[in-house]
Structure 1
Amino acid sequence: MKDVNVADEVTRAAVELFAAQGYANTSVQQIVEAAGVTKGAMYHYFESKDDLLFAIYDRMLSLQKSRLDEIIARGGPTDVVLHDVCVDVIETSIDFLPEGTVFFRSMHMLTAPRQQEVTRRRRAYHDEFSALIERGQSEGRYRTDIPRPVLIANFFSDVHYLSHWYSPEGPEDKSVVAEQLTDLFLSGIASSSGRSDG
């Protein structure tokens, strides 16, 4: 195995094992055996099992944050930008469904510094997302009768709930699901003057 693939193989094996038997019940030995690498090779990339769990989520979060930044940097009308951001976070969450499922199930087992780092990273994403909604509110596009944190929680609860019902093998195409959930969210936050149902 090429050295560059070690981290990917270890991560893949860890996700599968954590999903099947839980983070607490999975040993480093089981991970390296499933990955087909030595402990020394694993420890070259990951300091501990805790470090590995964080890396699983870090990969997904880093991708979503860079995609968010790209979409915002493209510019355009607020409703188009927010639509594209919502679709992207749903699609990438589906792409990383096993990683997300494992992480949310096991996040409380991270060390305190790692938990704080996750909170900081997620807050950075949510702050940019919130700024988009705030911009739309100032333009009269989105409702202001419900606090912004509630609007944001409404959207991300749908994203975090995906692992409970979505199956890549099922009939629902990820792009269709992303558009449908985004449409439901944007319709729900549209200001009365901005809605087309009146």
Structure 2
Amino acid sequence: MATELKEQIINTSLFLFEKHGFHGVSVNQIVKASGTSKGGFYHHFQSKDELLFVIHDYFISYVLTNAEKAIVSSTYPTDKLQKIIKSFVTVFDLYKAHISVFYQESTYLKPKYEETIKQKRQTYRDIIFAVIQEGIDLGEFRPEISVSIIGMSIIGMINWSYKWYKKDGEKSIEEIADMYVDFILQSLLTEKAKQNPEFQSYFLHNRLPTGT
């Protein structure tokens, strides 16, 4: 019940922040719109600032946790990167409102909360960079690429999805994720690695019906 109330407060605040902005919404408005009490609000959040932090933290923690799982559950760097990309893209469907508020209101994060978010984002970047470097070291990824440039390009390209992705769009989030995986791995993998049977399912042309 307590978890349901917390989610209700978060979802209500997401709607209000998107519509009126962080400073255009008071705790009283959130309490009233979510059908709770001030006591209920402050049981879950110390302040409106902490609520904004939690909204930011939800999706960052999601992608970070899934990236960490990918590292321990896969042997090949290609498999690790595929899982990281898929979970990264999926977040734009699961937490679309959270991400919209993040880009709209992130400048209002208090320093202590901003530092926590920065650390998690840096950890996420480090994981992606490490996977790319591992792929180069093991001969799966092209050796001439720059780890930092390619890593930041992947992050930037996928991040931009929040600008155009629509739940009722032409492609599902799963189809979009598969396209990103194909596009990125086609660019990264060596010609030899592209022939590895373990990776064939990641390429869209291998999924076409026979005779197409």
User: Structure 2 length as normaliser, TM-score?
Assistant: 0.85
2:112 is matched with which residue?
113
Give 5+ residue unaligned stretches, structure 2: 196-212
1 CA distance for matches of 2:158 and 2:35? Answer: 33
Deviation at 1:51, TM superposition (A): 0.5
Could you tell me whether the CA contact under 8 Å between 2:10 and 2:51 is conserved in 1? yes
Deviation at 1:127, TM superposition (A): 1.1
Name the aligned partner's letter for residue 112 of structure 2: P
Could you tell me whether the CA contact under 8 Å between 1:93 and 1:100 is conserved in 2? yes
2 CA distance for matches of 1:114 and 1:46? Answer: 13
1 CA distance for matches of 2:3 and 2:138? Answer: 48
Deviation at 1:126, TM superposition (A): 1.6
2 CA distance for matches of 1:8 and 1:101? Answer: 17
Name the aligned partner's letter for residue 41 of structure 2: M
1:5 is matched with which residue?
4
Could you tell me whether the CA contact under 8 Å between 1:82 and 1:132 is conserved in 2? yes
After superposition, give the CA deviation of every residue in 1:101-122 in whole Å (9 maximum; x if it has no partner): 1112211111112111110011
Could you tell me whether the CA contact under 8 Å between 1:94 and 1:162 is conserved in 2? no
- Out of 166-175 and 147-156, give the one that drifted further: 147-156
1:128 is matched with which residue?
127
Aligned-pair identity in percent equals 23
1:63 is matched with which residue?
62
Deviation at 1:147, TM superposition (A): 2.4
After superposition, give the CA deviation of every residue in 1:1-40 in whole Å (9 maximum; x if it has no partner): x333221111001111111222221221211111111122
Q: For the aligned residues, what is the CA RMSD?
A: 1.8
1 CA distance for matches of 2:151 and 2:100? Answer: 20
After superposition, give the CA deviation of every residue in 1:155-175 in whole Å (9 maximum; x if it has no partner): 111222112111001121110
2 CA distance for matches of 1:28 and 1:117? Answer: 23
Name the aligned partner's letter for residue 77 of structure 1: Y
Give 5+ residue unaligned stretches, structure 1: none
Could you tell me whether the CA contact under 8 Å between 2:92 and 2:162 is conserved in 1? no
* Partner-residue secondary structure (3-state), 1:114: helix
Structural mapping, 1:153-172, within 5 Å: 153-172=152-171
2:96 is matched with which residue?
97
Provide closer, same or farther for how the CA distance between residues 75 and 146 of structure 1 changes in structure 2, counting only shifts above 3 A: closer
* Partner-residue secondary structure (3-state), 2:167: coil
